[in-house]
């Protein structure tokens, strides 16, 4: 009787979830709610938006390192450390204000003054220096002076002691020669060298950006299209049309404005900060393959807290960090003994320009002479499916993911990765060294990208569960291939 009941019970129990029965390698132990909990904590006020160098980031890195240790992952650093330090400069914007002074003949002063709202209308670049200045504005197209290509947005305009205003981008997005000139660092330094007080970037929304260098006395900010329309209106231009013209004619369109802006920034710069990559690993069981590591990675950092605004970075990239952490936990708890070692790496400094991942690739732990593959997860929290990038010359990687996806069914499309340029995520640092990579990004929409609105409320535990499972199974298969 009891036996019969037990048998009936077992039959019910084992026949319930049809999908999980077929999941390989214990992938069903990866759970969306567990990922969600990790994400929730990473994106909380406790870690202050995880700005590399800042205590909030360091605390988040230490928390992940503690989990790695608790689960029994091996420390990857040369000194048997989980926290791998690298030098970093960072800046905190304590306070900022901005107003526009639009030419208006009806006003007694000749100007109509408007105070701008932080984040909605303007936001300093997150490496702006302290200053308070009022000056005229000169529009300089893309802000590019490239003598090697024979293109100069600064030709014929005097920007000395003024603010320059420009778009992000280049006259020809297909022309790779412009890539270097499109880096924020290059554009800021150029404006400074031309004598500008600061650079006003025109973005549809003034989103947070720490990707650049602090330059003494230089105050770069972003403004919205709406604000740019007000300034450009003096010359009868509207922002969207002007941008379209620059792209269509591929020639500089630069001109001074009589309108002025006041930019006030109070910031603290830390020239000698320390960032961290967090790295733990599971040993390889095959003595002949134990030098060849598979890296599973995501960036842990985001944009921090500035002017009292917390940029939580839930999608970017607490989601990817939580997915990698969950895969690491499953490897440890399922006692996976891969033939090759598998390293779990959470990078710092991605938002500043892949600083942590580049540093890791250049100073890779000596115990691993060869990196076989790298799998990156960046922004995997919003949406209900995933896109998968793979090194173009390694279609076998795509086939492996396609095969794994027959169990999970979350990949919506694949795209080949060739030349990543200046806008890639951490896998770009590995790809640049010729290491075959995979890259997962959820289908979104990622509409609150780099804003205070990138909170846990838009995150979907089930898509993260699917992506973590596909990453986990793929990692095991690559390690055993």
Per CB under 5 A, residues contacting Zn ion are: 316-317, 378
Cite the beta strand spans of 159-243 per DSSP E: 163-167, 198-203, 221-224
Closest approach of Cβ 412 to Zn ion, in Å? 19
Residue pair 64/300 in contact by the 8 Å Cβ criterion? yes
Closest approach of Cβ 351 to Zn ion, in Å? 7
Residue pair 316/450 in contact by the 8 Å Cβ criterion? yes
Nearer to Zn ion by C-beta: 144 or 355? 355
Nearer to Zn ion by C-beta: 316 or 466? 316
Structure letter (DSSP) for residue 317: I
Q: Which residues of 326-342 are buried (b: 16+ CB within 10 A; e: fewer)?
A: bbbbbbbeeebebbbbb
Residue pair 196/222 in contact by the 8 Å Cβ criterion? no
CA-to-CA separations, 115 to 101, 264, 283, 371, in angstroms, rounded? 9, 12, 58, 53
Q: Nearest Cα to 220, choosing from 119, 88, 126? A: 126
Residues 49, 52, 56, 61: what is their CA dihedral angle, to the nearest 10 degrees? 110
Nearer to Zn ion by C-beta: 100 or 300? 300
Closest approach of Cβ 311 to Zn ion, in Å? 12
Nearer to Zn ion by C-beta: 376 or 474? 376
Angle of helix 461-480 versus helix 395-408 axis, rounded to 10: 130
Nearer to Zn ion by C-beta: 318 or 478? 318
Closest approach of Cβ 441 to Zn ion, in Å? 9
Nearer to Zn ion by C-beta: 378 or 405? 378
Closest approach of Cβ 425 to Zn ion, in Å? 6
Closest approach of Cβ 390 to Zn ion, in Å? 19
Closest approach of Cβ 378 to Zn ion, in Å? 4
Cite the beta strand spans of 204-286 per DSSP E: 221-224, 254-282
- Beta-carbon contacts of residue 127 (< 8 Å; ≥ 6 apart): 90, 91, 210, 212, 213, 214, 215, 220, 269
Closest approach of Cβ 416 to Zn ion, in Å? 20
Q: Nearest Cα to 315, choosing from 34, 38, 41, 43? A: 43
- Beta-carbon contacts of residue 151 (< 8 Å; ≥ 6 apart): 144, 145, 171, 178, 252
Nearer to Zn ion by C-beta: 77 or 349? 349
Q: Which long-range contacts (CB under 8 A, 24 or more apart) does 191-195 make?
A: 191/140, 191/143, 191/159, 191/164, 191/218, 191/220, 192/218, 194/145, 194/154, 194/159, 194/160, 194/164, 195/159, 195/160, 195/161
Closest approach of Cβ 318 to Zn ion, in Å? 10
Q: How would you class 26 by CB atoms within 10 Å of its CB: exposed for 0-12, middle for 13-18, buried for 19 or more?
A: middle
Nearer to Zn ion by C-beta: 25 or 316? 316
Structure letter (DSSP) for residue 449: T
Nearer to Zn ion by C-beta: 209 or 224? 209
Closest approach of Cβ 449 to Zn ion, in Å? 9
In three-state secondary structure terms, 459 is coil
Nearer to Zn ion by C-beta: 68 or 377? 377
Closest approach of Cβ 320 to Zn ion, in Å? 7
Nearer to Zn ion by C-beta: 25 or 378? 378
Residue pair 475/330 in contact by the 8 Å Cβ criterion? no
Closest approach of Cβ 315 to Zn ion, in Å? 8
- Tell the residue number behind the tokens 């990675």, with chain if given: 297
Nearer to Zn ion by C-beta: 186 or 317? 317
């Amino acid at each position: 009787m009891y036996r019969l009941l037990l048998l009936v019970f077992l039959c019910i129990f084992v026949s319930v979830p049809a999908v999980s029965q077929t999941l390989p390698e214990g992938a069903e132990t990866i759970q969306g709610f567990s990922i969600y909990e990790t994400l929730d904590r990473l994106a909380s006020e406790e870690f202050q938006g995880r700005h590399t160098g800042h205590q909030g980031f360091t605390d988040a890195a230490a928390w992940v390192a503690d989990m790695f240790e608790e689960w029994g992952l091996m420390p990857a650093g040369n000194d048997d450390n989980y926290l791998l330090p690298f030098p970093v400069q960072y800046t905190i914007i304590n306070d900022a204000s901005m107003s526009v002074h639009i030419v208006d003949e009806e006003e007694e002063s000749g100007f109509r003054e408007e105070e701008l709202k932080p984040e909605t209308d303007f936001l300093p670049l997150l490496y702006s220096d302290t200053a308070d200045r009022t000056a005229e504005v000169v529009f300089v197209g893309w802000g590019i002076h490239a003598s090697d290509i024979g293109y100069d947005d600064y030709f014929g305009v005097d920007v000395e002691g003024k603010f320059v205003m420009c778009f992000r981008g280049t006259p020809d997005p297909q022309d790779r020669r412009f890539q270097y000139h499109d880096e924020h660092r290059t554009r800021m330094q150029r404006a400074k060298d031309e004598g500008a007080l600061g650079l006003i970037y025109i973005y549809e929304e003034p989103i947070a950006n720490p990707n650049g260098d602090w330059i003494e006395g230089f105050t770069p900010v972003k403004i919205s299209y709406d604000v740019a329309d007000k300034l450009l209106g003096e010359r009868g231009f509207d922002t969207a049309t002007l941008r379209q013209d620059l792209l269509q004619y591929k020639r500089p369109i630069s001109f001074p404005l009589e309108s002025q802006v006041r930019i006030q920034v109070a910031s603290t710069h830390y020239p000698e900060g320390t960032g961290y990559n967090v790295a733990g690993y599971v040993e390889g069981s095959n003595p002949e393959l134990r030098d060849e590591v598979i890296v599973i990675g995501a960036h842990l950092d985001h944009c921090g807290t500035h002017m009292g605004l917390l940029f939580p970075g839930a999608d970017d990239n607490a989601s990817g960090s939580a997915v990698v952490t969950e895969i690491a936990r499953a490897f440890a708890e399922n006692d996976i003994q891969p033939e090759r070692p598998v390293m779990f790496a959470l990078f710092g400094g991605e938002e500043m320009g892949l600083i942590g991942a580049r540093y890791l690739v250049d100073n890779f732990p000596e115990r691993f002479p060869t990196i076989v593959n790298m799998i990156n997860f960046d922004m995997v929290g919003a949406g209900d499916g995933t896109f998968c990038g793979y090194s173009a010359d390694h279609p076998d990687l795509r086939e492996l993911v396609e095969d794994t996806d027959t169990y999970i069914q979350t990949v919506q499309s694949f795209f080949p990765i060739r030349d990543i340029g200046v806008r890639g995520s951490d896998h770009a640092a590995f790809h640049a060294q010729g290491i075959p990579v995979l890259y997962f990004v959820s289908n979104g929409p990622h509409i609150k990208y780099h804003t205070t609105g990138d909170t846990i409320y838009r995150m979907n535990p089930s898509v993260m569960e699917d992506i973590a499972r596909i990453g986990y199974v793929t990692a095991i298969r690559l390690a055993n291939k």
